[in-house]
Structures are given as C-alpha cells and as structure tokens.
C-alpha cells in the first residue's frame, strides 16, 4: 500500500522563482530539491522586514554544537552553543548586531555561496563546496567568557540526498513569505577543540543538520510562534533523520514535515507537538494526522534564549534529547528507530 498525504499540498518539481518581476511572492508549495529561486534584489518590502538565517546542528556521541547566523533586519546575531551530552552542561555565546540590514551578506542560494563573520579576534565561517560538501571553521577566543572554541568540520551529503524545501505565504499579508530548506542527514568529520577538550567527529558516529531560511515577515505589530524538531543518526546499517514543524506561516500548500531514510525524503502531512506545559524535560509526544508518525522525545537538557532590539524580540526555548518511535514510509512499510540524537524548540518572535 502506498500512503498519500493531503491533496492540498503542492509538490514543486521544476525551478520556480519565489518572487515575480514586481516583487510579489508566489509559487507556494514544497519540494524535494532546492528549486525555489530566491532573489533578495526583487523584494519590494523595506530591508528591515527581510529575515535571513543559516543554522547548523552537529553532534558526536559526546557533544552537540549549534552554529547560527541571523540577519533579521532590525535584530541580528551570531549564536554558538556547545552542549555536553554526558555532563548535561551547556556553554553559549550570543553576539548581537543592531540593525544589520544586510551587513552579513547572507547567500541567496542554499547550495552556493559562503558566509564569514569576523568579530574582533574571532570568526565563524560557513563554506560551500562542490557535490554538496560544507565546511564549518570557527575560532572564538572566549566562548561564554570561558574557554576557547576552535576547529574545522566537513559535512558530506549521502548519495542522492533530498531536502524538505518549502515556500509559504503569511495569511492576509500580500508581500510576506518564508522560504526554507532543512537537510537532516549530513555525515560529519573533523575536530573541535573546546578548552582542553577535543571533540572528534568520525564518519558513522557524527551527524549534521542544515537549517536555511529566507523571507519577508509581516508589517508589525505581529508575532510568530514556530515549533521545530530535527534529528539524525543510525538505525542499524541505515541512516535516518527527520525535520518536522509548524508555525504562523500558512503551510496549506506544503508542510515542512518529512522523514528521511538514507537521505531520501518520505513526506508527512501535519505533525503535532504534545508538550507538558509544566515541565519541558518530561517526554514529548509527536503524532501526525495521517497516522504515519508516532514518536517520543526524552529530553536531557533545556535552555532559554532571549534577544531584544527596540520593539523586536526573539524568545526561544530549546531542548536536546533522544527520539524513539515509528514511521510509515511512502511504500507503506513501517520503520522503527531508537535513541536518535536531536533537538526541538519553540520560537516566539514579536515585531
């Protein structure tokens, strides 16, 4: 039996522009490949409304690292987190930039273009290479005013890898949209030196997730609440991963929910996050309306983030943990997985 998803969803199979010649967003839906062509020069909204971010989550058997660069128009930042899985300790640093307004020069294409931020004696560099190879280089003299973080890791695509790529409108906002790409299947190799600790990433024991977002947010005052969870790891001799979420943008023509087996996408419809409001460290439960996903997250650490600039604020609550569950693949076969490392978050933005 082959499972189907909501007929309202539109799969894009050929390259299409996110914006027309007048700067109006369109061609909404989802794709397995980065087929949405984003050109920020066509945006007719003010630069302060453009929102662009790149984020990488990489993890070994002992540590999880999060590297993020955000240009939100009025508010920008470089965020770096190091989480020890064994000790359940987190060290983080947020470098805030007031009114970056394009200063970071974020690449318009998720497949090409590199990004380097130099700050005093430190830097962070996201590099793209041929055949989907990505490199992260970093040197931060005092992360969290404590230890030095420096190193280099290389992220490799599995053969024939697909991504969950979406282009969504905002309800009742003609010029607002959000285009995103999530790739939860990278194989990671390299070394990160954190203080006196050396974290080694080796093939088969280290994984990575790429989170790319471009778009225009609505004119204020508005808010956006977004949920997202992603993980990647081994299930026997196979590689599994997923990216699931929902928010204020209209996902009616294409949700951002997908499971991946050896880099190949299996599309899911709507997914709901069931979270204990009293204690986020209690197990989370995830279900889909098409009955194809049933999954539990057991968090081992929670932390809040908050950034503010005038009337613009970003509050984020994140947890790291291990995912166990069952998914029905596109051909109808069930797949069970256990203790896949990943993270989940709720992000609330006011603008």
* Core vs surface per residue 180-191: b (16+ CB within 10 A) or e: bbbbbbbbbbbe
* Complete DSSP assignment for 126-143: EEE-GGG-EEEEEEEEEE
Greater confidence (281 vs 306) lies with: 281
Task: Please compute, for residue 42, the number of CA atoms within 13 A of its CA located in the half-sphere on the CB side.
Answer: 17
Q: What percent of the chain has pLDDT over 70?
A: 95
In this predicted structure, which of 44-48, 225-229, 253-257, 292-296 has the lowest mean pLDDT?
44-48
- Chain centroid to Cα 343, Å, comes to 10
User: Where residue 351 falls among pLDDT bands split at 50, 70, 90?
Assistant: low
DSSP string, 6-25: -TT--B--S-EESB-TTS-B
- Work out the average pLDDT over 34-54: 93
164-189 pLDDT, tens digit per residue, is: 999 999 988 889 999 999 999 999 99
| Omega of the bond leading into 32 within 30 degrees of 0 (cis) | no
Q: Is 38 helix (H, G, I), strand (E, B) or coil?
A: coil
Largest Cα separation within the chain, whole Å, is: 58
**Closest C-alpha to 179, from 34, 287, 284:** 34
| pTM of the predicted protein model | 0.94
When pLDDT is averaged across residues 51-77 and rounded to a whole number, the result is: 92
Q: Which two tokens stand for residue 297?
A: 């997250």
Q: What is the mean pLDDT of residues 193-221?
A: 92
Average pLDDT over residues 64-81: 91
| pLDDT above 60: residue 310 | no
């Amino acid at each position: 039996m082959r499972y189907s998803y909501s007929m309202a969803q539109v799969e894009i199979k050929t390259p299409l522009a996110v914006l027309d010649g007048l700067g109006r967003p369109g061609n909404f839906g989802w794709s397995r490949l980065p087929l949405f062509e984003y050109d920020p020069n066509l945006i007719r909204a003010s630069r302060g409304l453009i929102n662009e971010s790149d984020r990488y989550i990489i993890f070994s058997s002992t540590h999880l690292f999060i590297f993020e660069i955000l240009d939100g128009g009025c508010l920008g930042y470089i965020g770096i987190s190091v989480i020890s899985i064994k000790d359940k300790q987190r060290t983080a640093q947020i470098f805030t930039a007031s009114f970056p307004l394009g200063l970071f020069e974020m690449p318009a294409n998720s497949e090409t273009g590199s990004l380097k931020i130099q700050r005093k004696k430190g830097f962070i560099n996201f590099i793209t290479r041929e055949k989907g190879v990505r490199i992260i280089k970093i040197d931060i003299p005092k992360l969290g005013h404590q230890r030095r973080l420096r190193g280099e890791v290389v992220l490799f695509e599995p053969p024939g890898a697909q991504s969950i790529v979406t282009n969504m409108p905002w309800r009742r906002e003609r010029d607002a949209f959000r285009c995103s790409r999530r790739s939860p299947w990278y194989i990671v190799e390299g070394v990160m030196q954190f203080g006196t600790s050396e974290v080694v990433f080796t093939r088969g024991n280290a994984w990575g997730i790429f989170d790319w977002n471009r778009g225009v947010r609505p004119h204020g005052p508005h808010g956006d609440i977004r949920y997202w969870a992603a993980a990647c790891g081994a299930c026997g001799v196979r590689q599994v991963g997923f990216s699931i979420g929902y928010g204020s943008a209209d996902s009616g023509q294409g949700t951002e929910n997908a499971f991946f087996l050896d880099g190949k996408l299996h599309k899911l419809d709507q997914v709901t996050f069931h979270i204990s409001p009293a204690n986020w460290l209690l197990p989370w439960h995830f279900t889909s309306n098409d009955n194809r996903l049933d999954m539990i997250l057991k968090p081992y650490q929670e932390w809040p983030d908050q950034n503010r600039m005038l009337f613009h604020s970003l509050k984020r609550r994140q947890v790291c943990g291990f995912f166990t569950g069952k998914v029905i693949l596109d051909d109808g076969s069930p797949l069970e997985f256990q203790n896949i490392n990943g993270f989940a978050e709720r992000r609330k933005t006011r603008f």
